[in-house]
Amino acid sequence: MAPLANLGILIPVLWSGRTYAAKQLVPFFRAAEELGFGSLWTPDRVFHAQVAMPHPLVTLALAAGVTERVGLGTAVVITGVRNPIETAQLAASLDALSGGRLTLGVGLGGREHEYAALGVDVRRRVSRFEEGVHLMRRLWTEESVTFQGRHFALEGASILPRPGRPIPMPIGARAAPALARAGRIGDGWIQGGRGSAREFRDSWALVRESAHAAGRDPAALMSGKLLYVNPGPDATAAEAAVRRHTLAYYGREMGEAQTVAAGLPERITEVIREFIDAGCQTPMLGLPEPDVDKLAALAHQVAPLV
């Protein structure tokens, strides 16, 4: 049985057709901690025509203020389109205010129109992303950073509060070059909602091989997987509810491809177990709504079977 602390909760912030306020999310955050889940995670998008989604670090700041122990993570911040210096400062502040609980999952991601709107050349996004990861780590650990790169230049820059450690940065990836990058420069890897357990196993092997080839310890890397779940006695209705959730956010083709586990605890457990057996250390379970009762069902009915 996997400890409950190894299970993460993907915060249900993909809001379609309604707006959730702090009064809905705060009880959800507190319940996740009280029930014993190990971490809370949130995704990122800059623009979306159908779904309202707050900035991930704003969401986690709210969670940090009403909890004390549960880990806080992004799955993932699209640092490909965001300024890494500003992201480093925001992340350092959140890590300090939360008592060192942040894991900053990062990724290229983004759509071409998001890159254009934020003034980032999509053709140079890989080198910009890698330079940004390097620069964030320096800003978190050095008193004064002087840096001259292809994309960024700093002279005697200092961020305070400084976490005093490189905040862990697993990388969200799917394509082979990105998976290799996760092993070479990331602190682990997060698979999005799309992808089977077999694909997870093969991808995780590539990440670990890349880490080894770069002279890094593969055992030090973390692995995570987004899983959309919805417990309930009527499996058909439960799956339909969570599919509405994924379709609204990802669109028809991608929404149908997301990994979903709905219905009775045994079915949800089976899917989670497949990914754990494939090497997933932190399944990130995403409910369609911030429903405390369903969160409790995951803790009391699903987790003991995992």
User: Beta strand 102-107 with 145-148: parallel, antiparallel or unpaired?
Assistant: unpaired
The CA-CA-CA angle for residues 39, 275, 228, to 5°, reads 60
- pLDDT attached to residue 2: 63
- pLDDT attached to residue 249: 80
C-alpha torsion sign, points 58, 84, 168, 135: negative
CA distances (Å), origin 250, targets 203, 244, 269:
22, 10, 24
**Dist CA 232 CA 221 (whole Å):** 34
* Distance linking the first and last C-alpha atoms of the chain: 5
pLDDT averaged over 10-residue windows placed end to end, the chain, 306 residues: 86 72 89 98 86 88 97 95 95 97 93 88 94 97 96 96 92 97 98 96 98 98 97 95 86 85 96 98 95 97 94
**Dist CA 119 CA 165 (whole Å):** 30
- pLDDT attached to residue 302: 96
- pLDDT attached to residue 48: 80
- pLDDT attached to residue 16: 62
**Dist CA 89 CA 97 (whole Å):** 12
- pLDDT attached to residue 129: 96
**Dist CA 14 CA 50 (whole Å):** 9
Q: Do residues 251 and 216 touch, judged by C-beta distance below 8 A? A: no
